[in-house]
């Protein structure tokens, strides 16, 4: 999936990406579901990254063309590209010890 415009990634929705992976077969909806170990999503661009139109945002690993197309659309939905940098949010938010 490529960026459709220049800008900064202001959002990369974890739940949306998770759902795309689930659709591809990486997860279970019920306990009896089997998992496809090979499928998934690689998100090259993360929140706060500057991208140019045409840059690769993400890559989908799918079992077939149809699943790939569906997941690609979902992954694009997970990205929001804007003009202003998003608020800083590091990986470690707090410690309770």
Partner 1 sequence: MQAFVERVRRDSQIVMRPAELIEQKRNGGEHDAAELSGLVLAYARDEVPDYQMAAWCMAIFFQGLTARETHALTDAMVRSGETIDLGAALGRKVVDKHSTGGVGDKTSIAVGPIVAACGVPLGKMSGRGLGHTGGTLDKLESIPGFRVELTTEELVAQLRDVGMAIVGQTADLVPADKKLYALRDVTATVDIVPLIASSIMSKKLAAGAQAIVLDVKVGDGAFMKTLDDARVLAEQMREIGTMAGREVTCLLTDMDQPLGRAVGHALEVHEARDTVRGDGPGDFTELVSRRPPGCSHIPISGSTSRRAVAGRRPPSTTEAHSTRSSAGSARRAATRAPTRSSLLRSGGS
Site of interaction with partner 1 (CB under 8 A): 1-2, 11-15, 17-22, 24, 26-31, 34-44, 46-47, 56, 59-65, 68-69, 72, 89-97
6 vs 35, beta carbon nearer partner 1: 35
* Closest C-alpha to 68, from 56, 58, 78, 80: 58
Which H/E stretch holds residue 81?
Answer: strand 79-82
- Two tokens at 1? 């999936």
Query: CB of 10: closest distance to partner 1 in angstroms?
Result: 11
Query: CB of 79: closest distance to partner 1 in angstroms?
Result: 10
57: DSSP letter: -
């Amino acid at each position: 999936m490529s960026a459709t415009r220049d800008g900064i990634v202001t959002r990369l929705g974890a739940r949306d990406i998770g759902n795309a992976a689930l659709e591809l077969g990486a997860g279970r909806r019920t306990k009896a579901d089997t998992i496809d170990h090979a499928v998934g999503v690689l998100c090259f661009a993360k929140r706060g990254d500057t991208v140019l139109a045409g840059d690769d945002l993400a890559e989908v690993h799918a079992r077939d063309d149809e699943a790939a197309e569906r997941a690609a659309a979902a992954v694009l939905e997970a990205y929001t590209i804007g003009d202003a940098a998003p608020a800083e949010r590091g990986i470690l938010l707090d410690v309770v010890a």
